[in-house]
Amino acid sequence: MRPLVFAHPSSVVLQQALLETLPGEPGTMQLRRFPDGESFVRVETPVAGREVVLAWNLDRPDDKMIALYLLCQALREQGARRVVLAAPYLPYMRQDHIFHPGETISARHFAHWLSGFVDALVTMDPHLHRIHDLGEVYSIPSRVVPAAPAVAAWIREQVSAPLLIGPDAESEQWVADVAGRAGAPHQVLRKVRRGDREVEVSVPEVERWRDHTPVLVDDIISTARTMIAALAHLRTAGLPPAVCVGVHAIFAGDAYPALQSAEPAAIVSCDTITHPSNAIAVGALVAEAVAELLNPL
């Protein structure tokens, strides 16, 4: 029997990719808010004995988690065999450390909560920094889909003479991978400390790259301040306007117009989160990983 695919209203493009790739059947449900703001969920499609996949992206997670939790409970109570969550953007991964006294490692607690009510997870490029593997915090099977092949393919087709640039040392591994696949050179912005309160970010060997198109790549664009600062440094270094590529286009608050005001050559993202900057479709890649998880060889 085909898996049933339910979707949060923000994730219908991913639902379509899942329906085509698995292939699956759409599940129907009611999802709304009571006048007091509480979430209401009613599963309408019979799910007893069925595999269920949820297309449920988790950007702005605080708005979506309660409904997801209630939906999973309802599915289980009605006999669903297994509930697999396809969430291309996995939130709370950046609070992976106690930075100041009194904080907590939210990534751990969020993972513990989610692991308690879904059976498996498929996501794309989660922010793995101090946590090196999802298995360190998630106790359920998970698949991580890399965005690098899709990002590299877009760069190969759309950018002439690209020079890939990571905005900070953390991005080195990822940027090197994308660059290798795109057949392009890469650089990582380097912090040079000139004094206690004077830090400069530089592009090493800038002269060599003046005839290249800089392409800034990062996993997440949230406030866009990282991209804006990097753009300013590249401009100061005398490079042409950079193309900004982000995997997860969160663009919190005024981030998108603020980044546009910094006048990059283009702003491009994967469609893990629906946003006007989406130019790299990754739904089929996520759907293939869900299919592999449901039907391991």
The residues that touch ligand R5P, with contacts defined as CB under 6 A, are 94, 167, 170, 218-226
- Indicate the residue among 123 and 226 with the shorter CB distance to ligand R5P: 226
Question: In the complex with ligand R5P, which residue's Cβ is closer, 42 or 225?
Answer: 225
Distance, in Å, from the CA atom of 14 to the CA atom of 248, rounded to the nearest integer, reads 14
Q: Which is nearer to ligand R5P, 11 or 269 (CB)?
A: 269
Can you tell me the distance from the alpha carbon of 240 to that of 114, in angstroms, rounded to the nearest whole number?
Answer: 44
Give whichever of 55 and 243 is closer to ligand R5P, judged by the CB atom. Answer: 243
As measured in angstroms, the least distance from the Cβ of 174 to ligand R5P is 9
**CB neighbours of 238 closer than 8 A, spacing ≥ 6?**
206, 210
CB of 40 to ligand R5P, least distance (A): 33
Find the shortest distance in angstroms from Cβ 108 to ligand R5P: 18
Asked if 94 contacts 128 with a C-beta cutoff of 8 angstroms, the reply is no
Closest separation in Å from C-beta 217 to ligand R5P: 10
Question: How far is CA 19 from its chain centroid?
Answer: 21
Q: Alpha helices, DSSP H only, in the chain?
A: 12-21, 61-77, 106-115, 148-158, 172-182, 225-236, 255-261, 283-294
Strand order across the beta sheet in which 142-145 lies? 25-26, 4-7, 51-55, 82-86, 120-124, 142-145
Q: Is 78 helix (H, G, I), strand (E, B) or coil?
A: coil
- What kind and span of H or E run contains 195? strand 190-195
Cβ proximity to ligand R5P, 66 vs 169, nearer residue: 169
Shortest CB 171 distance to ligand R5P, Å: 6
The rounded distance, in Å, linking the Cα atoms of 14 and 283 is 5
Q: Which is nearer to ligand R5P, 170 or 288 (CB)?
A: 170
Q: How far is the CB of 293 from ligand R5P (least distance, A)?
A: 26
